[in-house]
Amino acid sequence: MFATLIRRKIGFGAARASEAALDTTLFSLTTDVPRPTESRADDRLLALLPVAKVTADGWQDLCRIRNISAGGLLAETTCRHEAGEAVQVELDSGQKIGGTIVWTRGTSHGIKFDSSVDLREILANRRPRIGFRPRPARLDIRCGATVRINGLYHSVEVRDISLGGIKIYLQERGCVGKEVVVTVESLRPIKGTIRWYRDGCAGIVFHRPLRFEELAEWLGKRIEVASLRASTQPLARAS
DSSP for 86-144, written as a single string? EEEEE-TTS-EEEEEEEEEETTEEEEEESS---HHHHHHHHS-BTTB-PPPP-EEEEEE
Where helices occur in the chain by DSSP H, the ranges are 2-7, 14-24, 43-46, 119-126, 212-238
**CA-wise closest residue to 168 among 188, 146, 151, 189:** 146
Domains and CATH numbers, the chain: 2-126 (2.40.10), 139-212 (2.40.10.220)
Give pTM, 2 decimals: 0.70
Strands 26-28 vs 59-69: parallel, antiparallel or unpaired: parallel
For each of the chain's 239 residues, which pLDDT tens digit applies? 333 333 333 343 444 444 444 445 677 777 888 887 655 545 544 455 788 999 999 899 999 998 888 999 999 998 899 999 999 999 887 889 999 999 999 999 999 999 998 888 877 765 555 555 566 788 998 999 999 999 999 999 999 999 999 999 998 888 999 999 999 988 899 999 999 999 999 999 999 999 888 988 888 887 776 667 766 765 544 44
